[in-house]
């Protein structure tokens, strides 16, 4: 996995991670990211990550447990696409934030 993890959650381990490098994001945004990742991890039954690529684009990644034969890859992708449509404005703003503070263009 290339890029910088913004946040992620694991359905199996019931854990949430938020990268402290992004602590300057407003609390309301951090809470929304928490809610999104925890719900998505639960829905898809896998680890769900939000990762900034080197170019600043935000990728939504799924890391299924290889031993979970009940994991539905098609349903997981459908859930990701629905989330992208629903949270398009938030994700665009996060990409702008990353561009401004974490790329050479923003410095």
pLDDT per position as a tens digit, 73-83 = 899 999 999 99
CA atoms of 40 and 54, how far apart (whole Å): 24
User: Domain residues for 79?
Assistant: 4-106
With 0.85 as the threshold, say if the pTM is over it: yes
* 8 Å CB contact between 75 and 45: no
When divided into structural domains, the chain yields a total of 1
Which residue, among 1, 75, 7, has the nearest Cα to 43 in the 3D structure?
75
Q: What is the pLDDT of residue 45?
A: 87
């Amino acid at each position: 996995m290339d890029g910088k993890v913004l946040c992620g959650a694991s359905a199996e381990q019931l854990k949430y991670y938020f990268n402290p490098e992004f602590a300057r994001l407003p609390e309301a945004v951090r809470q929304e990211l928490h809610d999104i990742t925890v719900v998505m991890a639960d829905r898809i039954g896998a680890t769900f990550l939000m990762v900034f690529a080197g170019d600043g684009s935000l990728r939504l990644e799924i890391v299924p447990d290889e031993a979970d034969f009940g994991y539905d890859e098609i349903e997981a992708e459908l859930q990701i696409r629905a989330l992208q449509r629903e949270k398009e404005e938030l994700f665009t703003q996060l990409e702008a934030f990353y561009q401004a503070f974490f790329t050479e263009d923003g410095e």
